[in-house]
Structure 1
Amino acid sequence: MTHTNSYLREEFFINCSNTTQPPTAYLRVSNIIVTNISLDEGELQISNNMAETCYNEQGNVTSSNDYSLDLPLPYTISDTKNKLYTVGCDTYSILQGFLGEDEFDTGCISICNRLDIVDQYSCSGTGCCQTNIPRGLKNTTVTLDTINSHKDIWDFNPCSYAFIADQGQFNFSAASLKKQDNNSWLPAVLNWAIGNDTDSCDEAQKRKDFACKANSRCANGPINGFVGYLCQCLPGYEGNPYHPDGCQDIDECTALNPCNGLNEVCVNSLGNYSCLCRKRDLIV
């Protein structure tokens, strides 16, 4: 369902589909599922799929699924929130993507020949390895390969997996080596900002299409690879700084109850509050 004029610009359109219950939010007209939006930090949380290759006992591939994520401008994969994870005991992954117009390649390898040597709760190279994501990465593919087709470890690890995920949302354990649900989705974080290479706050504020509305401030890029800007509510205000009505005053007296109720009375003001002494009758 599309709501006309309910988004700042075409690149920020979130398509809410009522074909599922509850409804599902997609980034523009893609199949990228959006699960959270951070206006202050310029982030989108998305549901991210994984690459998977499974083998039978003879080392033949029984199922295989590569991973790809094609991002429209102005989105890139967050280098501070995500990592590339590779899970398996006879597994290596290769990530290919673009930094601007330049192609970038990285990956990692995970090797172990027995389950009892796997670090049960650490992604440290035996059963699981992890790789940093470079700043500004977009349009990525992840492929999996193996050294010995899992033939020596098939009984406890028949499959290899690789995925980009929010590092605070994935916790490796030895159970991760078992067959995963191939419909599994993991959260990952994208970055975004307003404008293009010339749109710093100093320049953007001179333009008619400056995005920051009432009671907000401009925050300069680059933010994780972007040159552009974000809008943030001023202290004491909350809401959507890109909305035509801007950010709204927080009633700290109601929300925070900051004053000493016995001796002080709270008085709210725009963007602030005051604690005033209560008047007391003089007793003679």
Structure 2
Amino acid sequence: MSRPLVLLPLLFIVLLWPSVATSTLQLAKPNCPSECGNIHVPYPFGFGSKECYRNNDFKLTCDKSNNPAKLIGGTNIEVLHVSYQGQLHILSAISYDCYNKSGQSSGRMESFTTTEDQTILTVSDTENIFTALGCDTMSILTGYNGLNFQSGCSMICSNVSDVVNGSCNGIGCCQTSIPKGFGSFNISVDSYQHHIQVFDFNPCSYAFIVQSSWFNFSVSDLLNFKSIGETVPVVYDWAVDLKSCEEAVKNQTTYACKNSKCVPSKNGLGYSCTCFEGYEGNPYLDHGCQDVDECKFATKKNCSKNAICKNTLGSYNCYCPKGFYGDGFENGTRCVERVSIPVTKIIAGTSAGFVFLFFIIWFLYWAITRRQKLREKFFQENGGILLQQQIASHKGVKDIAKIFSIRMLKKATNNFHESRIIGQGERKDNVLTI
């Protein structure tokens, strides 16, 4: 059908398509273009003057002969998106093997990509999946330039009714994960019976590595797989350098992280840079990482109701306004309204309390005094003073006579019980017991 498409070396593979980033943060170096068509191009990648990209590994081309312009890497590799967070998305050719009704070949292509032996790019094992389509299909994926391996899929099925939409269970569609760490690959595809038995619904076999979130299998793919011009999107991970963070930081001239921190790259080879927590932007530019105003974004939700969010460098804080107390955080003590009592109410309440207390004290004093006066009155009315004088005037009488209080008499007579009245006690053997 058409000759093999060679996806040469390059480190030009990119994020999702089409890229429509709208960030106002600085992406490219000063005086360097940051867009090609609809695609934003962040440093260390770049095109145009050599000062606009880190080195030849990151050199791209903006083909303005197309409308919109296309971003190209290597030998005619179309780049869909570039991310300074360590990923590139490109369009990669599919492999196919097609036949006519009589079993003669009507088109065949094996796809492959190649990178240099030591490359900053590797096929992302987390974002891509190897996929084969067909009911008379055998396909082999070979990886190299880094990890060398072979994997594949093999399928035979006779009825289209056995194939299930959205299911790559090995009947009409087969998928398998890919390992980490290979930069280049080759995909071969073939058939067992030249699709003669299944030609009516499946004249071709297909195989490709594809961004897993992009592909959704349909039974109609067996009849005519509708790719993007015989290509599919593929994600590559990239490192800014193949050195470790420990090695790279020793040479500040070539060290790539600008006011940012060094981290191992996504592909496990070399290192990448990332902004410190609370900052965002391009960590490869001198002033690329800018403070995030958390109070404008979702972080503000961490502040409780009525709290005031205040941005700080690299972070934020929550404060309670006047009239509230607490730490202001939703998962903390929040902001609780203070209960304010008017001064007039406080004065009135305090005054009422003092008046009530004074009344209680006065009442107790009056009751005790009145009781004492009554006791004295009853004592005098019953000859109390005269009795005291007579006892005092007779020598020895005070030793045998004593004046008892009513309380003592009640206790001694069991509250004047009848059994304690003289002559009313119980008789036992002609003896009166009291």
Aligned residue in 1 for 2:111: 67
Higher strand share: 1
Pick one of 59, 74, 77 that aligns with 1:13.
59
Number of positions where the alignment pairs a residue of Structure 1 with one of Structure 2: 276
Measure how far apart 1:252 and its partner are.
Answer: 1.6
- Flag the 1:257–1:166 CA change in 2: closer, same or farther, 3 A: closer
2-structure distance, mates of 1:237, 1:162: 42
Counterpart for residue 274 of structure 1: 317
CA displacement at 1:280 relative to structure 2:
5.2
Specify every segment of 5 or more residues in structure 2 that has no aligned partner in the other structure, as ranges: 1-46, 325-339, 344-434
Corresponding residue for 1:113?
158
One-letter code aligned to 2:190: D
Deviation at 1:109, TM superposition (A): 0.8
Q: Which residue of 2 aligns with 1:53?
A: 97
For 2:151 and 2:306, locate their aligned partners in 1 and report how far apart those are by CA, in whole Å.
63
Structure with larger RCO (C-alpha < 8 A, sep 6+): 1
How has the CA–CA distance of structure 1 residues 131 and 249 changed in structure 2, closer, same or farther, with 3 Å as cutoff? same
Structure 1 equivalent of residue 425 of structure 2:
none
Deviation readout 1:81-119 (Å, 9 max, x if unpaired): 21211101101112223143x743222112111111113
Matched, 1:211 2:256: yes
The SS at the match of 1:176 is helix
Cα distance in 2 between the residues matched to 1:185 and 1:95: 16
Match of 1:230 among 248, 262, 272: 272
Equivalent residue, structure 1, for 2:306: 263
1:5 Cα shift? 1.8
Give 1:240's match in structure 2, choosing from 262, 282, 286. Answer: 282
Identity within the alignment, %: 39
Q: 1:65 to 1:119 in 2, by over 3 A?
A: same
Structure 2 match to 1:250: 292
Give ranges in structure 1 of 5+ residues lacking alignment.
none
Q: CA 1:248 to 1:160, structure 2 compared with 1: closer, same or farther past 3 Å?
A: same
Query: What letter matches 1:66 in structure 2?
Result: E
Compared with structure 1, are the counterparts of its residues 6 and 110 closer, same or farther at alpha carbon in structure 2 (3 Å cutoff)? Answer: same
Cα distance in 1 between the residues matched to 2:89 and 2:95: 19
Measure how far apart 1:134 and its partner are. 2.3
Deviation at 1:165, TM superposition (A): 0.5
TM-score by length of 1: 0.88
**Superposed counterparts of 1:47-196, under 5 Å:** 47-72=91-116, 73-100=119-146, 103-181=148-226, 183-196=229-242
Contact 1:8 1:242 (8 Å CA) reproduced: no
Question: What is the Cα deviation at residue 224 of structure 1?
Answer: 2.9
The whole-number CA distance in structure 2 between the counterparts of 1:53 and 1:38 is 34
CA RMSD of aligned residues (A): 2.3
Alignment TM-score, normalising by the size of structure 2: 0.59
Tell me the distance in 2 between the aligned counterparts of 1:154 and 1:34: 35
Q: When you count helix as a share of all residues, which structure comes out higher?
A: 2
| SS of equivalent to 2:296 | helix
Structure whose alpha-carbon radius of gyration is higher: 2
1:215-247 per-position Cα deviation (integer Å, ceiling 9, x unaligned): x211125x4341x11101111111100012230
CA deviations on 1:35-83 (whole Å, 9 max, x unpaired) are 223333x211222221122111000011112211123421111122212
Q: Kindly tell me: are residues 9 and 178 of structure 1, through their superposed partners in 2, closer, same or farther at Cα, counting changes over 3 Å?
A: same
Query: Which residue of 8, 13, 23 corresponds with 2:69?
Result: 23
Q: 1:103, 1:254 → 2: CA distance? A: 48
Shift of residue 250, structure 1, vs aligned partner: 1.0
In the TM superposition, residue 194 of structure 1 has moved relative to its aligned partner by 2.4
